[in-house]
Amino acid sequence: MNETKMTLTERNQKLYDLREKMNKLETELAWVKQEIWVVNDQYKRQDLDLYTEMFGPDAYNERGQDSAFMDDNFGG
């Protein structure tokens, strides 16, 4: 195996550069995690009705939310 020799100074510089890169990436990762938390928190604070969000406000009617399904599949 033909390995290139490395001096102590080269090794230290390489480790320093790698640690700097790691610190930058850790900071970026922390920022992304914070943004995920903010998005989830904003959504949660809206207190939306999931059924209405998925199917629209007209999905509920006087016979109940599953009546269209019941009519289509069981003859109403």
Cα–Cα distance between 72 and 76 in angstroms, integer?
Answer: 7
pTM above 0.85, yes or no: no
Asked if residue 3 is part of any domain, the answer here is no
Model pLDDT, residue 71: 64
Reported as half-sphere exposure (CB side, CA atoms, 13 A), residue 31 has a value of 6
For residue 1, being part of any structural domain is answered with no
Contact between residue 59 and residue 52 where contact means Cβ atoms under 8 Å apart: yes
Does residue 29 form part of some domain?
Answer: yes
pLDDT in tens, the chain (76 residues): 668 899 999 999 999 999 999 999 999 999 999 999 999 999 999 988 888 888 887 877 644 555 666 666 666 4
The domain tally of the chain equals 1
| 39 lies in some domain | yes
Query: From CA 73, how far away is CA 26, in angstroms rounded?
Result: 53
